[in-house]
Structure 1
Amino acid sequence: MAIKMQKYGTLRGEPLYEFILTNQAGMAVHLLNYGATLARVVVPTASGPLDQILTLPAIEDYAKERNFLGGTVGRVVGRLPGHVWHRGEREVTLLAGEGDNAIHGGPEGLDTQVFTGTYQEGESSDRVVFTFVDPAGHNRFPGTVKTTVTYTLHENNSLTFALHAATDEATLYNPTNHVYFALDGLAAGVAGSTLRLAADYYGPLDDHHLPSAGWAPVAGTPFDFRTGAKLGDRIPAVLAGQGFDHPFLLKAKAAAVLTGQNGRKMALTTTAPALVIYTANHFDHTGIPHNIGAHSGVALEAQIAPPSGPDWSSITLLPGEPYDLETSWRFFE
């Protein structure tokens, strides 16, 4: 295996680096210390190398405009309704970013930060470790949180994303990796891809795209992927045809298998209890990601279930109780 590290720019006076990991099978993974971002996953095919995720035209583009492509999104991914956290008699007012909701960790979330990056070479796997210390008060979150993100490339063409964090004060924490998969390539989109998902329940969304009604059975709905279904057959029936943006409650670590029209597969395993499916609904070939349109890819975001209760206890991180999440993606035919 091999690792290459190269500087490609600076941001706020800090160097930006790309790390390229390559295994003996020819799979190459490109990582950025900007946002602890997964920028490219290239696998060998009979017709040549094929990128398996949505990417921007140049690595310099990732820091030009917030796009969440492959980034480590947090402290809290998704929407926090009302942006006010009630912790006992204390109220913490976060920054609203979508109407009255806090979203994706605030305007300067983890995906916009420059991490410290180091790499470690091994006989059967190589890894890159990214670290960022988020100070108390940043984006109005209490507590100083140290986040460590580790990407490990294995010889069996699997890539593991491991996230560890610890805080010195009670805070909210529910990050994920926000990579979009496109197994047939960017131009093909994901309408022809088949998803199989180990989930009996999903979270219906209200008019503000918030899962405010608890869990509902997938049986008899467009959300039933237990035996596999084409995304393109289900997207027209969801959110008035916009697509999926919904959480699913997982019943197994072997959570999902995505299969492209070309027969290539990606199997996802995770220690997370939930998975949010998002079919890239907002992309419209404008801005920095001008090469990406709606439904060009699908994000399978492994994370804690959506916050519930007035104190959001399900996503509260406490001192002395570190956060650990591990997700692996294996690519094969």
Structure 2
Amino acid sequence: MMEQYVIENRNGMRAGILNRGATITELSLPTRHGGRVNTVLAYPQPEDYLTDRYYVGTTIGRYANRIANGRFMLGDSACQLTVNEVGCNNHLHGGLHGFDKKWWSVAKHTAEEIVLRCESHDGEEGYPGCLQAEVTYRVSDEDVLEVHYAAKTDRTTVVSLSNHSYFNLSKDAPSIQGHTVRVYADKFTPLDGRNLPIGAIASVADTVFDLRQGSDVNEVMDCIVNTNYAFDHTGNTLAVMAVLTDKESGRMLTISSDYPGMQLYFGNFLGGYFSLCQGICLEPQYFPDSPNNSHFPSAILEPGEHYKHTINYKFSKF
């Protein structure tokens, strides 16, 4: 049964969460002149998410992003996942029935926090091991939406969980062209024609992918479309990855995480209820196709290990 839950801080920052897909349907802020602005794209009705094809606001997994041919090796064992990006023959965002389509159970719900859980069975979408996953959403009085991921498995598997919200900090703008985006990464993973990494971890210097000083979205959105940025921090250290700014209102979103990568996608293929480039995705996660690139940060999870990662979305200048 579709249920929507709300969490809110003392300043009036509010998040709406659906139990299907552990989906963010609202991340709204009070404005200086009264009223509210929802900073994420959302469908008019909760039931509309049942037919969503764009992962709007959803939790994506068991593996966010792409795995070439849906195939990789774990030790001596070959794993074959479902291939759901048919034109490119890729496994994308967990397959035909990934975490975005699961009904998550609510383990805890308070005024400022909600904890949701789901289970992915051994062999589901081709993944080995029974995986128990948990996502916690918490709004702090510092105007941060904290997203905490946790998982454990009974067999060696791969895991990369993220959120696929499309951000638009303007109140009613039909596109993100009035935004600027800054990405604090020195490196990226160049892609081939199937949107898969070619294996290199390259410098952004002297390329269109260099967003370290910030760029107007309308100047780069058609050149970049989507790419994965590589960060050097290790362990559980939270680091600023990106800052998104709406030039007209001055609203700012700062994204921090302990993940090694962040996928940037300008919404160039949005459709249906939404317009092209109406929202931008900034998705901290493991690198795409990491299971087939041994020199990429490893997304392997072993039995007895605890998968833990955090994404923080901090808002300022309401």
TM-score normalised by the chain length of structure 1: 0.87
Provide the residue aligned with 1:275 in structure 2: 262
Mapped contact 1:53–1:185 kept (Cα < 8 A): no
Aligned length: 306
Distance 1:186 1:86, change over 3 A: farther
Provide the residue aligned with 1:174 in structure 2: 160
Provide the residue aligned with 1:228 in structure 2: 214
Q: Which moved more, 1:20-29 or 1:152-161?
A: 20-29
Q: Using the TM superposition, give the Cα deviation of residue 216 of structure 1 relative to its aligned residue in structure 2, in angstroms.
A: 1.4
Provide the residue aligned with 2:307 in structure 1: 323
Distance 1:92 1:311 in 2: 15
Distance 1:113 1:297, change over 3 A: same
Matching residue within 91, 96, 105 for 1:102: 91
Is it true that 1:39 corresponds to 2:28 in the alignment? Answer: no
The SS at the match of 1:77 is coil
The SS at the match of 2:4 is strand
Gaps of 5+ in 2: 234-238
Matched AA of 2:279: G
Q: Which moved more, 1:309-318 or 1:320-329?
A: 309-318
The SS at the match of 1:199 is coil
Provide the residue aligned with 1:86 in structure 2: 73
Distance 1:237 1:73 in 2: 25
Provide the residue aligned with 1:5 in structure 2: none
Mapped contact 1:41–1:53 kept (Cα < 8 A): yes
TM-score normalised by the chain length of structure 2: 0.91
Provide the residue aligned with 2:240 in structure 1: 254
Q: Using the TM superposition, give the Cα deviation of residue 311 of structure 1 relative to its aligned residue in structure 2, in angstroms.
A: 7.1
Provide the residue aligned with 1:164 in structure 2: 150
Distance 1:51 1:195, change over 3 A: same
CA deviation profile, 1:20-40 (whole Å, cap 9, x unmatched): 112221111101111111111
Q: Using the TM superposition, give the Cα deviation of residue 82 of structure 1 relative to its aligned residue in structure 2, in angstroms.
A: 1.7
Is it true that 1:293 corresponds to 2:269 in the alignment? Answer: no
Q: Using the TM superposition, give the Cα deviation of residue 180 of structure 1 relative to its aligned residue in structure 2, in angstroms.
A: 1.1
Provide the residue aligned with 1:4 in structure 2: none
Distance 2:93 2:127 in 1: 12
Q: Using the TM superposition, give the Cα deviation of residue 305 of structure 1 relative to its aligned residue in structure 2, in angstroms.
A: 2.2
Mapped contact 2:62–2:98 kept (Cα < 8 A): yes
Distance 1:101 1:306 in 2: 11
1:17-36 maps to which residues of 2 (within 5 A)? 17-36=3-22
Provide the residue aligned with 2:193 in structure 1: 207
The SS at the match of 1:224 is coil
Is it true that 1:74 corresponds to 2:61 in the alignment? Answer: yes
Q: Using the TM superposition, give the Cα deviation of residue 251 of structure 1 relative to its aligned residue in structure 2, in angstroms.
A: 4.1
Distance 1:311 1:23 in 2: 42
1:113-152 maps to which residues of 2 (within 5 A)? 113-121=102-110, 126-152=112-138
Distance 1:60 1:199 in 2: 38
Mapped contact 1:87–1:311 kept (Cα < 8 A): no
The SS at the match of 2:69 is helix
Provide the residue aligned with 1:304 in structure 2: 286
Distance 1:251 1:140 in 2: 31
Provide the residue aligned with 1:111 in structure 2: 100
Q: Using the TM superposition, give the Cα deviation of residue 87 of structure 1 relative to its aligned residue in structure 2, in angstroms.
A: 2.3
RMSD of aligned C-alpha atoms?
A: 1.7
Matched AA of 2:275: G
The SS at the match of 2:298 is helix
Q: Which moved more, 1:70-79 or 1:84-93?
A: 84-93
The SS at the match of 1:296 is coil
Report % sequence identity. 29
Distance 1:195 1:159 in 2: 19
Gaps of 5+ in 1: 1-9, 11-15
Distance 2:311 2:292 in 1: 29
Distance 1:139 1:255, change over 3 A: same
